[in-house]
Amino acid sequence: MLKENLKELPLDDLLILLATSQKNFAVSKLYKQGADVIQQNKNQLEKVQKAIVDKRENVFPQKK
C-alpha cells in the first residue's frame, strides 16, 4: 500500500492494518521466509506506523 493511500484511511482502519502488518512481520520472521519477504513486511509495518503517527498528530492540533 502506498503512503498516500495510508494517509487517507481513518485511524480505526490504520489500527487494523497495523495488527495485520505486525502479524505478517512476525510470521515471516518465525518461518524464516527470506530476507526479501521479511524486509517487505518490515517496510509495510513502518509505513503503517508512520501513517498512524501522522494521523494522530492531525487529531491533536498544536496550540501556539
Domain count for the chain, please give it: 1
Residue 63 lies inside a defined structural domain of this protein: no
- Residue 38 in any domain: the answer is yes
Between 10 and 61, the higher pLDDT residue: 10
Predicted local distance difference test score (pLDDT) of residue 55? 87
Task: Determine, yes or no, domain membership for 64.
Answer: no
- In which region does residue 63 sit, left (phi positive, over 0), alpha (psi from -120 to 50) or beta (all else)? beta
Domain that holds residue 9: 3-57
- Taking the C-alpha atoms of residue 13 and residue 33, their distance in angstroms, rounded to an integer, is 27
Reported as a single tens digit per residue, the pLDDT across 15-49 is 999 999 999 999 998 888 888 999 999 999 999 99
Among 10, 34, 35, smallest CA distance to 18 is for 10
* pTM for this predicted structure: 0.77
What pLDDT, on the 0 to 100 scale, is given for residue 31? 83
Q: Is residue 62 part of a domain?
A: no
